Structure 1
């Protein structure tokens, strides 16, 4: 799942969680025992969740979106490298929102730093948030709390095709007070108005030793939307907007992504110009921006505090 050429050092906070003593094991050793209902019950209860679905790879097609309760300190889902969670092309896979009172009252809405959701050794495929009232997050929507993704794959996820500021075919992160860590993971064939893989507002990213390939920002009209157009189309792989956030890309391959507007690879706009971006030991190539990009930075549109810091990287 990881970029084989990635050599970025992974800090302790971005390492996999210990799942040696799980709170709940989904399944009793056979694929048939690993049901959507059993998984939903485990997620409802929270804690550390692993799977026992037999020796072969298994796909669990969800009957409903998995919803994280706001009273949990942490929820860890570890698929052991043999589990795919599928939205079946009909629904989002995971939903975390500390401002959603239906999930229990959050202490401080999106200022709340828990629950912290960790997804590791999983594949999340065919999630679809099209038409959902929350803006984006075809596989995962995370507002408030915390999020970490380790050694996982996101394949063929979708969200709405138009909208000036919605996005994140794979992940939409909103108002996170701590960086979202993405480590050793692959994002492929995602499509959304903005952010063919990742999208955020007011959230920092640390992306290490990962791969982004063949993702598309398919909206048109940019942000704010041009007259007569619905808006969107920026950030083929990653769309980051808001104030006071940072993006670090290290040991990562971003290739063959596309944006109808700006940033075929990365769209970064810090509204108050306080945000910074670092690209280290990474390769960005063949990420066309059909509309606009920052001169000298192929596939990147950047408005921030200073110029992008680039070390040991290829951008072409």
Structure 2
């Protein structure tokens, strides 16, 4: 999106910000009731709470419907604020409905700030459902916990949020233990989504017993398109999926994307950067074998994926950490650029079957360019302990400055490090297995045994002194995954080795587990 485009969206949101509203409560917890909240919301505008000094929970007996610009602020500096809105395990908490507006109307904004939404229950959006082309939802410093959108065993979902059309923006928030058919935490249909500095932990899209191929996508986030204008017949306008500086831990799906599933329509695009994906799982769907992308399944369209760590994720079939599957409809559009990634200790295996390919990365279709990746200590039951290219053409998978090392296979198979045709140089692999690329260097890269805090915001795999990967790279990004500048000729992999003697001081951001 152009700077002008961002400015236009920002101005629309700013113009719609709330300036009037009501106060819930008169200074005591008992005064903060469902009826008081409904009354404060009636006129839109800014809604705040006066419930005393201690945290308070307001349990709803029916969903609150909002249809005009509104901001709800729970107060307090702590994440989730001092106010919890609860659905009591039986009702959706908020329904933001601006479907009555036509496509040329001024956008209407719902802002949730310093608020906890818990125990909501519905068929779509356990905590919040938003519908309408002009709906704008902004979420800041809030918590969505234990919400459920499995009331119907149908395609839909969004344990916490179901966003259909409009636009969704999330910052500094926590999504924990939410459950949905598609999108354990978020189900996003045909609208741009931005997620910044947020944590998704133990969300789940495995519920239900239906064998449908349309169930179980996105343990944390399910995204189907990024603009209502994208697709055949509207080829000039697309939207963007942006996920930055966030943490995905312990999410699970059944079918595609243990943490995140993205599906784009021409000319949508996606940027996923600065994230930690740890211990996410995608299981095979009921009655079938499909399981793709233990952490991330990207389906169609441009993907920019960089400065991220994938560790300890698992798929029961393809792509222990990542699977990229591209459409052949728009060849020039079907691209993925992967830069400065640590992909380690992931698995593509099925406990009850000899099945699993691409322990770290699984590629099918499109054009993938991978630069300065460390792909190490991954496992696949069948093919490609580190990387699997199912496309059959080396031209579609260009590798530069990769370390592919210490990956393993199940018994009786031979493609230890890679499987399928790959190309590019320079790269380095462990001595075992067939060559990943023509002329690849075979040597022990002298990597640390596991990911650790080596400086920077995310864990990485360090190069040890004397590694043959040191000074062996060409045309590297100016910084490594941690944000460390290159020292002399650049190194292979996501970690730049810098001798302690070269530092006058070190100033790295700490690892943050929100």
- Which band: TM-score by shorter chain? 0.7 to 0.9
Matched, 1:246 2:240: yes
Other-structure match for 1:267: 261
The alignment partner of 2:261 has SS state of: strand
Gaps of 5+ in 1: 1-10, 100-105, 131-135
Instruction: Give me the whole-angstrom Cα distance separating, in 2, the residues matched to 1:201 and 1:222.
Output: 21
Other-structure match for 1:4: none
Instruction: Give me the whole-angstrom Cα distance separating, in 2, the residues matched to 1:12 and 1:98.
Output: 19
The alignment partner of 2:241 has SS state of: strand
Q: Which one of the candidate residues 300, 306, 309 is aligned to 1:311?
A: 306
Matched, 1:75 2:70: yes
Alpha carbons of 1:181 and 1:44: their partners in 2 closer, same or farther (altered >3 Å)? Answer: same
Following TM superposition, the consecutive aligned residue runs of length 4 or more in structure 1 with deviations greater than 4 angstroms are 11-15, 110-113, 161-164, 219-223
Q: Deviations over 1:83-124 (max 9, x none)?
A: 00000001000001222xxxxxx231x765532100000000
Matched, 1:255 2:253: no
Other-structure match for 2:486: none
Gaps of 5+ in 2: 1-8, 76-80, 231-237, 285-289, 312-514
Contact 1:221 1:261 in 2 (8 A): no
Other-structure match for 2:274: 281
Deviation of 1:275 (Å): 2.4
Deviation of 1:312 (Å): 1.4
Q: Which one of the candidate residues 112, 124, 127 is aligned to 2:117?
A: 124
The alignment partner of 2:280 has SS state of: coil
Other-structure match for 1:232: 215
Contact 1:256 1:285 in 2 (8 A): yes
Q: Deviations over 1:244-289 (max 9, x none)?
A: 432111110011000011100111112x343222111111111111
Instruction: Give me the whole-angstrom Cα distance separating, in 2, the residues matched to 1:88 and 1:315.
Output: 36
Deviation of 1:52 (Å): 0.3
- Give TM-score scaled by structure 2 length: 0.51
Other-structure match for 1:52: 50
Matched, 1:299 2:295: yes
Alpha carbons of 1:150 and 1:111: their partners in 2 closer, same or farther (altered >3 Å)? Answer: farther
Deviation of 1:22 (Å): 5.2
Instruction: Give me the whole-angstrom Cα distance separating, in 1, the residues matched to 2:210 and 2:257.
Output: 11
Instruction: Give aligned pairs, total.
Output: 278
The alignment partner of 2:74 has SS state of: strand
RMSD: 2.5
Contact 1:169 1:190 in 2 (8 A): yes
The alignment partner of 1:313 has SS state of: strand
Other-structure match for 2:158: 168
Instruction: Give me the whole-angstrom Cα distance separating, in 1, the residues matched to 2:112 and 2:36.
Output: 18
Instruction: Give me the whole-angstrom Cα distance separating, in 2, the residues matched to 1:266 and 1:111.
Output: 32
1:59-208 to structure 2, matched below 5 A, reads 59-69=57-67, 72=68, 74-80=69-75, 81-99=81-99, 106-108=100-102, 112-130=105-123, 136-144=124-132, 145-160=135-150, 163=153, 165-176=155-166, 179-208=167-196
- Does 1 or 2 have the higher relative contact order (CA < 8 Å, sep 6+)? 1
Instruction: Give me the whole-angstrom Cα distance separating, in 2, the residues matched to 1:192 and 1:175.
Output: 19
- Give TM-score scaled by structure 1 length: 0.81
Deviation of 1:219 (Å): 4.3
Q: Deviations over 1:188-232 (max 9, x none)?
A: 000111100001110111100000000000246899x34xxxx41
Structure possessing the higher radius of gyration over alpha carbons:
2
Instruction: Give me the whole-angstrom Cα distance separating, in 1, the residues matched to 2:131 and 2:104.
Output: 9
Instruction: Give me the whole-angstrom Cα distance separating, in 2, the residues matched to 1:113 and 1:180.
Output: 16
Instruction: Give me the whole-angstrom Cα distance separating, in 1, the residues matched to 2:187 and 2:170.
Output: 13
Q: Deviations over 1:1-55 (max 9, x none)?
A: xxxxxxxxxx97899x988x75211100000000000101111221100000000
